[in-house]
Amino acid sequence: MKILIAGSSGFIGKSLVERLLKNGFQVDALARNPDSLGEIKNPNFKIETGDVCDPASLYKLEGEWDACVNAAGLMGKFGVTRDQLRAVNVDGPQTLYRFCLERGVKHFIHLSTVGVAGPSDEKFRDEDFPCNPSNDYEISKRDGEKAVLDLHRPEACRVGVVRVGFTYGPGDLHKLSLFRAINGGKFFLIGKGDALLQPIYIDDLTDGFVKLIKRRPEGAAVFNMCGGEAVSWKEFTATLAGLIGKKLPAIHIPLSVAKGAATVFEGAGKIFGFNPILTHSRISLTTQSYTYNIDRAREAFGFNPETGFREGLEKTVNWYSSRRLI
């Protein structure tokens, strides 16, 4: 099978490229920054320069594909506007799906986030739970997956939406700041630290995508793809600290104090043009539970995350350490 992957220079996209090639697929990688993929050497691999926000760049592509994975997306970082988020996360997927329809692609897989369902209040929400996004990023991802599902033409190109959980592993530079903060003794838990997360190791996630591409379930469907176990932020970060050879500070920051500080930091960041060390979105991530049911993916295509969070963290710490990143 030949696969087109948009957003292939990102952490998940690049990891998926490598996994697909390992499994014997032909892969065309669509990226705005092709240089980041230069170290991948494989006769079944080709790099294409393009942008899901630029239809003209897509229609310059030559080739035929059995499936397309849209891993392109814009994160909700401080200073990113709603319009910027919507251009990439809402308009981009529609442009790419229309392109796939015209080129005869039979299967379109769109990456979303479990965050579109909102905090789970320690309950494992399934894909049918009404969406309740809590910030501009999650709203844009919700609207993006809805837009693609509204365009769905099952007789021409099936759609699968994958809501990805908290993903980590070797190659991830987005969460490097968390590892560095813990290594430097600068990470403090907010509140009790009992909020739950459901981390998924990158190899488990990409293995799930391979199974989804091979099975190609009928009809439009949304799938949660998270880790197989839920863990509190206190246990997760304490385990990470131990693997690095550190201990978490005994002091916890009260939630009310953290929210007040975030307001000050965000205000100063807007005025002086810097990225604040504490924001309301970061507080929400670590003080609210995000846990989701993955039975639908298990039953539809055999999704089976096997890596425990301690094992995954150990592999990730070793990767960072070997490159002197922490």
pLDDT at residue 273 in the model: 81
202 has pLDDT over 90? yes
pLDDT at residue 281 in the model: 84
Give the mean model confidence (pLDDT) for residues 157-177. Answer: 95
Whole-angstrom Cα distance, residue 271 to residue 198?
A: 36
208 has pLDDT over 90? yes
pLDDT at residue 121 in the model: 77
By the 10 Å C-beta count (0-12 exposed, 13-18 middle, 19+ buried), 184 is classed as exposed
**pLDDT digits 0-9 by tens, 280-316:** 888 988 999 999 999 999 999 999 999 999 999 999 9
Positive/negative CA dihedral, 260, 264, 270, 275: negative
**pLDDT digits 0-9 by tens, 20-48:** 999 999 999 998 877 878 788 899 999 98
pLDDT at residue 312 in the model: 97
**Closest by CA position to 230, among listed 116, 320, 114:** 114
pLDDT at residue 270 in the model: 85
Q: Which amino acid is at 49?
A: T
- Domain positions in the chain are 2-175+197-231+291-307
Give the mean model confidence (pLDDT) for residues 170-186. Answer: 93
Helices (H), 78-201: 82-86, 92-103, 136-151, 176-183
**pLDDT digits 0-9 by tens, 59-101:** 899 899 999 999 999 988 878 899 999 999 999 999 999 999 9
Answer whether 180's CB lies under 8 Å from 324's CB.
no
Answer whether 224's CB lies under 8 Å from 165's CB.
yes
Average pLDDT across the chain, whole number:
93
pLDDT band of 204, cuts 50, 70, 90: very high
Strand 231-232 vs strand 196-197: parallel, antiparallel, or unpaired? antiparallel
For residue 176, give both structure tokens.
């490097």
Q: Does domain 2-175+197-231+291-307 have CATH number 3.40.50.2300?
A: no
pLDDT at residue 32 in the model: 84
pLDDT at residue 131 in the model: 93
Rounded to two decimals, the pTM is: 0.93
Whole-angstrom Cα distance, residue 67 to residue 278?
A: 40
pLDDT at residue 248 in the model: 92
276 has pLDDT over 90? no
Positive/negative CA dihedral, 207, 208, 210, 214: positive
According to the 3-state scheme, what is the secondary structure of 107-125? EEEEEEEHHHHCCCCCCCE
Q: H-helix or E-strand containing 309?
A: helix 309-322
324 has pLDDT over 90? yes
pLDDT at residue 37 in the model: 84
* Higher pLDDT, residue 161 or 274: 161
pLDDT at residue 285 in the model: 87
pLDDT at residue 33 in the model: 79
pLDDT at residue 38 in the model: 79
**pLDDT digits 0-9 by tens, 216-259:** 887 769 999 999 999 999 999 999 999 999 999 989 999 999 99
The residue ranges of DSSP E strands in the chain, in sequence order, are: 2-6, 26-31, 45-49, 67-70, 107-113, 158-164, 167-168, 196-197, 200-201, 221-225, 231-232
52 has pLDDT over 90? yes
pLDDT at residue 54 in the model: 93
pLDDT at residue 35 in the model: 80
Whole-angstrom Cα distance, residue 305 to residue 89?
A: 26
pLDDT at residue 76 in the model: 80
For residue 43, give both structure tokens.
């006769």
